Structure 1
Amino acid sequence: MASSLLVYAGLTDVADGFLARRFKMQSVLGTILDPAADKTLMTTLTITLAMKGMLPVPLAVVILGRDVLLSLSAFYIRYTSLPQPKTFKRYWDFSIPSAEVRPTQISKYNTFLQLLLMGFTTISPLLPFDVAAPLIALQWIVGTTTIWSGASYLFSKDAVRVIAQKGPPKSS
């Protein structure tokens, strides 16, 4: 059942992304909700598999730690790039874009590898052969790409773009 839900979530995410690009249906809210849904899925899988002893706790800490740090960074960037006046209501008003975060290439690979690891870990007890060695290798790869991905946001000048704000409307 869990494997079926994981496949379903992955396929619907791919379909959603394809349709949004194909029909140019991208929105500020969509650029927030889609990654948030992906992170919710990854967080749930990571915590559940670590609690079941199927994913090493240090790897779970790396995966979740990166996401927490990126989320905190996003809140900070939103606050610092939001034009005045900075109010709670304006902070959560996504019709006022202030910054755009673009996934780095390693981050895209990392997302794929994390999903592959979660899927492989989920189905591993059902397989009639031992997959411990490839699973451990994949865990090391994911740990490495997760750290690399987090660092790429810190050191890439193209990952975050502050959207230039126009001055206040002039009265006639």
Structure 2
Amino acid sequence: MTVPNMITVARFLLVPAVVYWLLTGEWMMAFAGFVIAGISDGVDGLIARRFNQRSRLGSYLDPAADKLLLVSVFVVLGVLGQLPLWLVVAAVSRDALIVLAIFLSSLMGSPVEVRPLMVSKVNTAAQIALAGVVLAELAFATTFGPMRPALIIVSGILTVASAGAYLVTWSRHMNTHGEGGPQAGR
């Protein structure tokens, strides 16, 4: 268990706290927890690279912790009416479809290498920015003008684009590596 992995585990443990603070209206605490999680994500990556503490476990834990926090915050903000439900459903569905595709590929004996696409990285950045803006608006009882609506639109477009890109990539992989080709199992 490396130092970066311990930091990542702490980030996992921070998720229920952030969710609790959101559900109880403790906006400043929720915002602070979200910011601390973001900073810890950067710190664990820096330590892993700088001190050669990269690990296979960390390569799975780190993105899982990030995704758990972001999905949890999105869901709760949707339930609280702070994000449109269509966006929450789109974001959660996209992630569920990716996990399902990875699972199916492995189950069919054709595991797909998980590599984030550029559109996915931009999508994640937009979703993090959106969650951060909403949490900051709640924590500081302010609004940032058109920033939230703009980020909602951008996040929605990027979520759909990312889901489509992953679907195309997965379909190509399965047609190339799947058992018996594209007609197998029909």
TM-score range, shorter chain: 0.7 to 0.9
Hey, what does 1:9 align to over in structure 2? 37
Supply the RMSD in Å over aligned alpha carbons: 2.7
Question: 1:42-96 deviations in whole A, cap 9, x for unaligned?
Answer: 11101110111100000100111101111111211222337xxxxxxxxxxxxxx
Which structure 1 residue ranges, 5 or more long, are not aligned? 83-97, 161-172
Amino acid of the structure 1 residue aligned with 2:116: P
Hey, what does 2:137 align to over in structure 1? 124
Greater C-alpha Rg: 1
Does 1:113 find its partner at 2:141?
no
1:54 and 1:109 mapped to 2: Cα distance?
Answer: 22
User: Alpha carbons of 1:135 and 1:19: their partners in 2 closer, same or farther (altered >3 Å)?
Assistant: same
Of 73, 92, 100, the residue aligned with 2:101 is: 73
Hey, what does 2:56 align to over in structure 1? 28
Hey, what does 2:164 align to over in structure 1? 151
**Contact preservation (8 Å) 1:46, 1:118:** yes
Does 1:40 find its partner at 2:68?
yes
Amino acid of the structure 1 residue aligned with 2:104: Y
Shift of 1:126: 4.2
2:161 and 2:52 mapped to 1: Cα distance?
Answer: 31
1:144 and 1:129 mapped to 2: Cα distance?
Answer: 26
User: Alpha carbons of 1:29 and 1:60: their partners in 2 closer, same or farther (altered >3 Å)?
Assistant: same
- Percent sequence identity is 36
Name whichever structure is richer in helix by fraction.
2
Aligned residue pair count: 147
**Contact preservation (8 Å) 1:81, 1:99:** no
Which structure 2 residue ranges, 5 or more long, are not aligned? 1-28, 174-186
2:73 and 2:62 mapped to 1: Cα distance?
Answer: 17
Higher RCO (CA-CA < 8 Å; seq separation 6+): 1
User: Alpha carbons of 1:126 and 1:8: their partners in 2 closer, same or farther (altered >3 Å)?
Assistant: closer
